[in-house]
Amino acid sequence: MGRFRVRVTATIGIAVAAVAIGAAPGWAGTRTEPGDEASAAAAVVVRAAQADDLGAEAAARVAAMTVREQAASVVMGHVSTTDAATLADYMTQTGIGGFILMGENIPSDETGLRALTAALTPDAAFPPLIAVDQEGGDVSRLGWDALPAAGTLKNEPPAATQDAFAGRGALVQRSGIGVNFGIVADVTDDPSSFIYGRALGTTPQGGADRVSAAVAGEGDQVLSTLKHFPGHGAAAGDSHTVIPATGMTQQEWVVSAAVPFQAGIDAGAPLLMFGHLAYTAVDPAPASLSAVWHRIAREDLGFEGVSITDDLGMLEASGDPAYADPVANAVSAIAAGNDMVLAVIYTTAETAPRMVDGIVAAVESGAIPGDRLEEAATRVAALRLALAAGGRGLMPCAACAPVG
C-alpha cells in the first residue's frame, strides 16, 4: 500500500508522496492489460496528485453535498459487531465520514480484520476515516501487537518510541485502518493518575521527545492522532466517569502540559483529539466543547489539521445533567470548532443518524453557521482524499512505477 504524508491547512493543502498504486482519484497514469507486463516499466507512470488538486477536489466535493451529507461526513460512528454485511449496510445507510473500531469489532487475526475494514469502505475513491485506539499496552485493540508501549517507552530513549510506533503504524496500516488514535501526549509523573500508564512522558520535555518520535515512527503509514488535548495530566480524575478539572492557568499550561502537544503538531500529526476536561482558569467548559481551546490550538500552537472529540458518550457518563443529551453535545462540539465528533459509549445504530439530524437542525436554526460545518466537512474530506491517493482500499498495481 502506498505511503503518504498529509498536512491539512485552513485552505486544505495536502502533500502526498509519489507511490506505486493502481488508479486513484487525482493520479495520472496508464495501466497495462494482462499479459503486457513485459512493457509495463516503460508504459506505466504514476504521478502524485498535487496539493492544490486534492484541496480543490475536497472543496468541490463538499460544495456539492447537501447540508445533510455534510453533517453526516463529520460524524464518526460505531456499532458493536464483526459482521461485515451489517457494517457495510451501516456505512452505506448513514453516509457517515468515519468509524471507530473497538475491541468488539476486531476479529482474531489480521486477515479477518482486513475483510472487515474493506466492508466498512463503500467507496475506495473516498474512503471513510476508519480509526482505532492502538496505543499498545493498556489500550490495545489489535491482539497481535506485542510492541513496547508507554509503560516501557517512557523510560527508554526516544528512538525506542520511534521504532515501536513504526512497527505499530505498519500493523494498523496492514489491517486497512487509516487513522490511529494512538499517541498519548498527556504528561504526568503521578503514578496514581489514570493516564500515567499510557502517557509517553513524565516531564514535559520527555513527553515532547517521545511524542514527536511516535509521530515520526508512524510516518506515512497511518494518520497520527495526538490526545487528549489540552492534557489530562494536570487534571485529576478519569474522564470516562467524571469531567476532570484543574485551575492551571494558560501561562502555566504553555510551559508544561502544552509542550508535548506542540511537539506533536510541529512533527506533523494531522489529527488532534480534544479531551473532556476543564481548565477552569481558561474556560469552565470541557475542552471538547470549548471554542477558546480550539482557538488556542489553531492560533497559538499552529494546528492546521482535523480536530476530533474524544468519545462524546463520556460526557453523558459523567452524570452532569448539562451533558445528558448526546445530540446536543454533538452540536455544541461542532459549533465550538471540532471538525469531527466521535460517539461510542451508549451508541446504537441510530445514534449517528440522530446526531446528523441534530447538526442539520442546528445549521438550519443558525446555531451552527453553515460555513463552520462546511469548513469541518472540507477538512475531513481532505484527509479522506489523501487516504484514497495513498491507495487505501485499492488493489496493488505491480506494474506501476513512481515518478521521481
State the Cα–Cα distance between residues 156 and 239, nearest whole angstrom: 28
β-strand partners of 245: 236, 278
H/E segment holding residue 101? strand 98-101
Please answer whether residues 258 and 231 qualify as being in contact, where contact means their C-beta atoms are separated by less than 8 angstroms.
Answer: yes
State the Cα–Cα distance between residues 149 and 197, nearest whole angstrom: 9
State the Cα–Cα distance between residues 336 and 195, nearest whole angstrom: 25
* pLDDT tens-place string over residues 281-313: 999 999 999 999 999 999 999 999 999 999 999
10 phi, psi to nearest 5 deg: -60, -25
pLDDT at 53: 74
Q: Which residues of the chain fall short of a pLDDT of 50?
A: 1-46, 393-400, 402-404
Report residue 268 as a C-alpha cell.
506533523
pLDDT at 235: 86
Cα-based distances in Å from 6 to 161, 233, 398: 21, 29, 24
pLDDT at 51: 57
Cα-based distances in Å from 136 to 111, 151, 197, 331, 344: 20, 9, 11, 32, 20
Mark whether 228 is an active-site residue: no
Collapse the DSSP code of 75 into the 3-class scheme (helix H, G, I; strand E, B; otherwise coil) and give the result: strand
Catalytic residue among 240, 266, 325, 357: 240
Catalytic residue among 145, 186, 310, 339: 310
Mark whether 145 is an active-site residue: no
